[in-house]
Amino acid sequence: MAINIPKSGFSRFMKDGAQHFKGTDEAVLRNIEACVELSSQLRSAYGPNGMNKMVINHIEKLFVTNDAATILKELDIQHPAAKIIIMASQMQEKQVGDNTNTVVILSSALLEHGAELINMGLTPQDIATGYELAAEKAFEIMPSLVIKEATDLRDPSLVKKFLRSAITSKQYDNEEIISDLVAKACVQTVPKNCYNFNVDNIRICKLLGSGVNSSMVMNGMVFKRGVEGEVKRSENARIAVFACPFDLTQTETKGTVLIENAEELMGFAKGEENEVESQVKALADNGVQVVVAAGKFGDLYLHFLNKYKIMGVRLTSKFDLRRLCRTIGAQAQARICAPAVNLLGKCDLVYVKEIGDENVIVFENKVGDSTLMNGQGSVHLVKVDGNQNHHRNKS
């Protein structure tokens, strides 16, 4: 008589340690359990009295925050069902800028009640249909629950009232100052069509020293670094931007120069100086008063920049270079040359200023689309949490 051997199942086709679930009880309910477990970890961080979480990400960077968007961003979640809720929370952060934790808690609560209905015998399809009908009914009722509506988005005092609730939950006692700053920045940069508002037009420069009360809003850009050279201030400046180092280029292969006497040696060095001076003089003849480069400034170039009273600014970030080009209306050049006048940027005032204990370069315009919020704080955690609040409320 043959022995009845049970089937090994689908798991034999998978790697060791892999688990395979099938059917409503195993697959659907386990997915719901994962989502509810994720929600339980974030529930204690909800609201203005929520507790902070200590998160160490994959590069061992420490975060101490109760902001659900930051926590979910730094956690490495692998479960596919939980990832869907995280994606919904991230979309909420992108479109609205707040209530990310609400999305996770609400969706997990709906799933938890759905699990009870499944245990009672209802199919997942029937439950999903019921939730869709409930959503339609909720959209019908919601307009009657509106307490106050924003009618003029160009009124800073009105915008400030709508921002306070989101800021209070993260920066208690500083909500009056921060909401006023964010409202001013948003009103200054909002286009004619409010739906075309670009969040990237508002930047935050975080500086140690002084306090949150010293923060300010200004039109233009601020960079945490000093200038290259002796010129510290320029008014009504024309600005040339180069996406390369402002220095002599090095060849990829080694070259050999044969010098037989002292006159040839002097002539070689003099020819190099003449070439550099001609390039800097061409910029000065075009009316350039500020040179911004994406790399280092050579000593020889700095000498002639000082001679022709041209300010040198070095930016190491390509993103900062792009934002500056958009702010001043310049076009970055790939190599050192004398750009046409229509490719140069313009700025009302470029100067070096000491804020707290740091020197910063300020590109200030009287009017413009880009606004910078200079956020100051006594400790780094205050600055980081404030930065997250600014970004959240710009949305």
Domains located in the chain, CATH noted: 18-145 (1.10.560.10), 220-246+258-394 (3.50.7.10)
Structure-token match 């022995």, residue found: 3
Helix (H) or strand (E) holding 349: strand 345-355
**Amino acid 133: pLDDT:** 94
pLDDT greater than 50 at residue 311: yes
pTM of the prediction?
0.66
Q: Residues 176, 178, 180, 181: what is their CA dihedral angle, to the nearest 10 degrees?
A: 160
Residue 271, CA atoms < 13 Å, CB-side half-sphere: 6
Answer yes or no: are the C-beta atoms of 124 and 103 closer than 8 Å: no
Split at pLDDT 50, 70, 90, the class of 180 is confident
CA distances from residue 209 to 122, 179, 377 in whole angstroms, order as listed? 61, 21, 6
pLDDT greater than 70 at residue 218: yes
220: left (phi over 0), alpha (psi -120 to 50) or beta: left
Residue 166, CA atoms < 13 Å, CB-side half-sphere: 28
What whole-number distance in Å separates Cα of residue 47 and Cα of residue 50? 5
**Measured at the alpha carbon of residue 37, what is the angle toward residues 36 and 43, in degrees to the nearest 5?**
80
**Amino acid 355: pLDDT:** 78
Answer yes or no: are the C-beta atoms of 280 and 291 closer than 8 Å: no
Helix (H) or strand (E) holding 288: strand 288-293
pLDDT greater than 70 at residue 391: no
Q: 3-class SS at 102? A: helix
Answer yes or no: are the C-beta atoms of 284 and 256 closer than 8 Å: no
**Amino acid 132: pLDDT:** 93
pLDDT greater than 70 at residue 237: yes
What whole-number distance in Å separates Cα of residue 208 and Cα of residue 230? 26
In DSSP terms, which residues pair with 359 in a beta bridge? Answer: 354
pLDDT greater than 50 at residue 278: yes
